[in-house]
Amino acid sequence: MKFLISLILLQVSFLPLQAQKKPTAEIERMITKGEVEGPITFLAADEMRGRDTGSPELDIAANYIASRFREFGLKTPEGAPQYLQPVELLKSGAMAEGSLTLIQDKLGYKDDFVLLDGNPLEWSGEVVYVGYGTPEEMPADIRGKLVVSLAGSKDSRNVQEIFMASTMKYDRISAAGAAGLVEYFVTAPFPWPALVNYFSGSTRYEVKKGESTIPHLWMKDKDVAGMKELKSGKSVSGTLSIKGETPRLIPAKNVAGWVEGTDPKLKNEFMIVSAHYDHVGVGAKKGQDSIYNGARDNALGTVAMMSAARYFARFPAKRSILFIALTGEEKGLLGSAWYADHPLVPLKQTVFNMDCDGAGYNDKTVVTIIGLEKTDVHAQMEKACGAFGLKAALDPVPEQSLYERSDNYNFARKGVPAIDFAPGIKAFDAELMQYYHQPADEVSSLDFDYLLKFYRAFIYANHLIANQINPPFWKAGDKYESAGKALYGKP
């Protein structure tokens, strides 16, 4: 009897190893409709009221995800007690009033400029012009000065790209001690009234970066003497007045847990598998419904990440994997921005980010890999998708700048190779938009036959990358390649 029990235990101990010889079969066995429908239904229920940033319901979602990590047996990262990484966000109301003067020219709030970031202040002093504000164009000393530049960068093609380039520029100028940043549009690619409505009509959220935040303005192109003097290289004096609500701290949290790798060497390298778990809350009533449930965006992605955590907790890969549910994505990629500046694992040990986020789907034959062309994991994505009857497709709407609109961007800007594994899209058409950020985005509208293929492909894609010998990297010439070389010390 003792021999029989020992034999049974020996066989059981080898079951995971045997299953790993054909991971697709084990993935199919583990990932069923029953396993994924429950978590999506919980996260996107009416009672969760759209999981808005700063809401009690988002805290409930965070605790639910943490409880699943605990159930799976994930390790707790240092800096994330009980799987919860504290994230400091600032919330403020719309700016009340303000003015900007350049020499004698007075520019008005809303008519001529809008506020993107910044605390109320009264300032006067020297104003300097810096072109597009690249490091090469920046004067040696801008401390205490108001910096004026062209909006975005010379390569920006739309408002989203302008905004991303502006954010990076703002961080550099703030770190250099400037009094503020004013960017103006030479040719506005978006109607000025729409920008005013977007930035001045709602509550603002931002990541806390210090005790105070310098102002960041977007200014309408205007033919004034002060701008002509600035662009000619002359010294100009100015004033800036901003009146409104002082930002207040909003406690928030990312949810993180990890699985240690099995390879003695590769376990010191980490993959990050991420998805944002927030949505947009309760909004304008459409029909009889005002709850924006966010089943597609992004309960779907959160459950993909959780399903991967469950799989790898049972079948660890050679590399270690950190699983993160990120907060505040809908307010400006805030949770991932915080993590990128406060990583739980050193970024130089982080070899890849697989994010799962999307606007929904209107092509159930593909997975849309946002950034597929940017790194060297094309073959792995094709293999993973093909194993479950799907195709790995490129971003069909590059003009939408989707790569910079999901959390993968904050890893990429630091140099970590990153992609967004998204549900299949063929266009931003009516079929997609009837659910994107709409109350109609409910669990009852989801096609679980497609989602099962999607989830299984997602887990297999992570399996392939987490077990390959050489870490992924950027394609030669990619815009983030230089950041990657700097991060990892590559020549």
3-state secondary structure at position 480: coil
Of 37-41, 134-138, 333-337, 379-383, the range with the lowest mean pLDDT is 134-138
3-state secondary structure at position 133: coil
Domains and CATH numbers, the chain: 20-89+252-488 (3.40.630.10), 94-244 (3.50.30.30)
Q: What is the CA radius of gyration of the chain?
A: 24
- Across the range 38-53, mean pLDDT stands at 98
Say whether pLDDT at 162 is over 90: no
Q: What's the pTM?
A: 0.88
Distance separating alpha carbons of residues 93 and 476, to the nearest angstrom: 44
Distance separating alpha carbons of residues 213 and 120, to the nearest angstrom: 9
Distance separating alpha carbons of residues 421 and 22, to the nearest angstrom: 23
Please provide the average confidence, as pLDDT, over all residues in the chain. Answer: 91
* Contact partners, residue 3, CB within 8 Å, separation at least 6: none
Chain-centre distance of CA 107, in angstroms?
34
For the chain, the residue count is: 491
Model confidence pLDDT, tens digit, residues 99-114 = 999 988 899 999 999 8
Which residue is it, tokens 């699985």?
259
With residue 411 as reference, give the H or E element that holds it: helix 408-412
Peptide bond between residue 462 and the one before it cis (omega within 30 degrees of 0): no
Residue 254 contacts residue 93 (beta carbons within 8 Å):
no
Amino acid 7: pLDDT: 38
In percent, the amount of the chain with pLDDT more than 90 equals: 70
Distance separating alpha carbons of residues 130 and 150, to the nearest angstrom: 8
Residue 326 contacts residue 253 (beta carbons within 8 Å):
no
Beta-bridge partners for 128: 147
Say whether pLDDT at 3 is over 70: no
Model confidence pLDDT, tens digit, residues 225-277 = 888 888 888 878 999 998 887 788 998 999 999 999 999 999 999 999 999 99
DSSP codes, 251-296: EEEEEEEEE--SSTTGGGSEEEEEEE--B--EEEEETTEEE---II
- Across the range 403-432, mean pLDDT stands at 96
| Nearest alpha-carbon partner for 278 in 206, 322, 333 | 333
Distance separating alpha carbons of residues 150 and 153, to the nearest angstrom: 7
With residue 124 as reference, give the H or E element that holds it: strand 121-129
Residue 125 CB neighbour total at 10 angstroms: 12
Residue 253 contacts residue 66 (beta carbons within 8 Å):
no
Strand order in the sheet with 180-184: 105-108, 97-102, 236-243, 121-129, 146-150, 180-184, 216-219, 113-117
Residue 108 CB neighbour total at 10 angstroms: 11
**Following CA atoms 455, 458, 460, 465 in sequence, which dihedral angle do they give, to the nearest 10 degrees?**
-170
Model confidence pLDDT, tens digit, residues 447-485 = 999 999 999 999 999 999 999 999 999 999 999 999 999
